[in-house]
Amino acid sequence: MEHPGFFERTGPFPLSEVARATGAELAPGADPALMIDDVRSLSDARSSSISFIDNKKYLTQLDSTSAGACLVNPALVARVPAATAALITKQPYHGFARALALFYPSAMQPMVATPGAPAIDPSARLEEGVLIEPGVVIGREAEIGAGTRIAAGAIIGARVTIGRNCYIGAASTITHALIGDRAIIHSGVRIGQDGFGFAMGAGGHLKVPQIGRVIIQDDVEIGANTTIDRGALKDTMIGEGTKIDNLVQIGHNVVVGRHCVIVAMCGISGSTELGDYVVMGGQSGTVGHIKIGTGAQIGGSSHPAHDVPPGAKYFGTPAKPLRETAREQALIKRLVAREKSNNDDGPKGSSED
């Protein structure tokens, strides 16, 4: 059965009302009565969806989008497909944030549990053999599989699903997430909070509602006090068998492949993709929207700023192939040694008696 989702959607709204809510102007020829029922990315949009473009990097997606409407900067109006109504605005990302707030108002203050309900909501479904320690809160329509243990003080949000034979550590918080079997979630983990998304501007920073989920597959282990943000429009995903250490931050829309190892204090920025069997050393991190290829290894305290090929070993900041970094460091070492030798062997100053 398809998951019911975590946010109730309002609408549909006529395009004219969407334009007012987003502060945009309808392009000539756009039908103000066109009904819009959702906000989606360019690649996922349908004829009844609104999307946006604010970066020329995504022009190829704009060319092929099926969106019924698109928020667009005046400079890019000519690139909008004929079947897509253009909503013209100098700040498409701000308009996108306002569109999300229009269609998903509950995403601004998501509900974890029903006010006034018992600590374990009567609509929650717990299979036989689930162990619940004192102080646990379980929201409405949550589902928990047999053999799973929820430790003291943990919070399981509305409609969260957790598979069988899992362990959910003390004082952890899980919302807007679907978790597979045999997962180990250590104490203080935060899963499913909204991602760090703001439409920045001189007049202040507009919060962008986050309506995605977190998908965690089977046999994943997540260390204490790690945080995994839910997706903005799409899902944040952690592949089966992946092991995540303590104090790791994983941003919205990140995709982590199978059997990856992510060591303590890593920071993985939004929309980064890790292939299978990737290793991220301690205190390493990535910028957003890059891909780390299958089997790649990122050294401790290293920070790639561009895509990393499969099987590569990168080190440094900005991270480079390990051999290249090693040669540079060896060269610097020789130059320093040569400079020191020149200083030691040079003429000595004299002083009067």
- Per residue in 46-67, pLDDT (tens digit) is 999 999 998 888 899 999 999 9
User: What is the maximal distance between C-alpha atoms in the chain?
Assistant: 99
Domain count of the fold of the chain = 2
**What CATH number corresponds to the domain at position 64?**
3.40.1390.10
Judge if 83 and 199 occupy the same domain: no
205 is catalytic: no
- Paired with 132 in beta bridges are 150
Judge if 99 and 180 occupy the same domain: no
Q: Is residue 60 situated within a structural domain?
A: yes
Judge if 331 and 218 occupy the same domain: yes
Catalytic pick among 176, 186, 252, 303: 252
Judge if 103 and 188 occupy the same domain: no
- pLDDT tens-digit profile, the chain (353 residues): 578 889 999 999 999 999 999 999 999 999 999 999 999 999 999 999 999 998 888 899 999 999 999 999 999 999 999 999 999 999 999 999 999 999 999 998 888 888 888 999 999 999 999 999 999 999 999 999 999 999 999 999 999 999 999 999 999 999 999 999 999 999 999 999 999 999 998 889 999 999 999 999 999 999 999 999 999 999 999 999 999 999 999 999 999 999 999 999 999 999 999 999 999 999 999 999 999 999 999 999 999 999 999 999 999 999 999 888 888 888 888 888 888 888 876 665 554 44
CA distance 262 to 239: 12
Which of 108, 136, 160 terminates a domain? The answer is 108
Which of 88, 108, 128 terminates a domain? The answer is 108
3-state secondary structure the chain: CCCCCCCCCCCCEEHHHHHHHHCCEECCCCCCCCEECEECCCCCCCCCEEEEECCHHHHHHHHHCCCCEEEECHHHHHHCCCCCEEEECCCHHHHHHHHHHHHCHHHHCCCCCCCCCCCECCCCEECCCCEECCCCEECCCCEECCCCEECCCCEECCCCEECCCCEECCCCEECCEEECCCCEECCCCEECCCCCCEECCCCCCEECCCCCCEEECCCCEECCCCEECCCCCCCEEECCCCEECCCCEECCCCEECCCCEECCCCEECCCCEECCCCEECCCCEECCCCEECCCCEECCCCCCCCCECCCCEEECCCCEEHHHHHHHHHHHHHHHHHHHHHHHHCCCCCCCC
Domain span at 184: 176-341
- For residues 188, 191, 194 and 196, what is the CA-based torsion angle, rounded to 10 degrees? 70
Which of 108, 126, 143 terminates a domain? The answer is 108
Q: What integer pLDDT is reported at residue 353 of this predicted model?
A: 43
Q: Is residue 320 situated within a structural domain?
A: yes
**What CATH number corresponds to the domain at position 302?**
2.160.10.10
Q: What integer pLDDT is reported at residue 203 of this predicted model?
A: 84
Give residues with Cβ within 8 angstroms of 343, minimum separation 6: none
Judge if 193 and 76 occupy the same domain: no
Q: Is residue 353 situated within a structural domain?
A: no
Q: Is residue 331 situated within a structural domain?
A: yes
Query: Cis omega before residue 92 (within 30°)?
Result: no
Predicted model pTM: 0.90
CA 69 to chain CA centroid, nearest Å: 25
Judge if 57 and 192 occupy the same domain: no
Judge if 211 and 310 occupy the same domain: yes
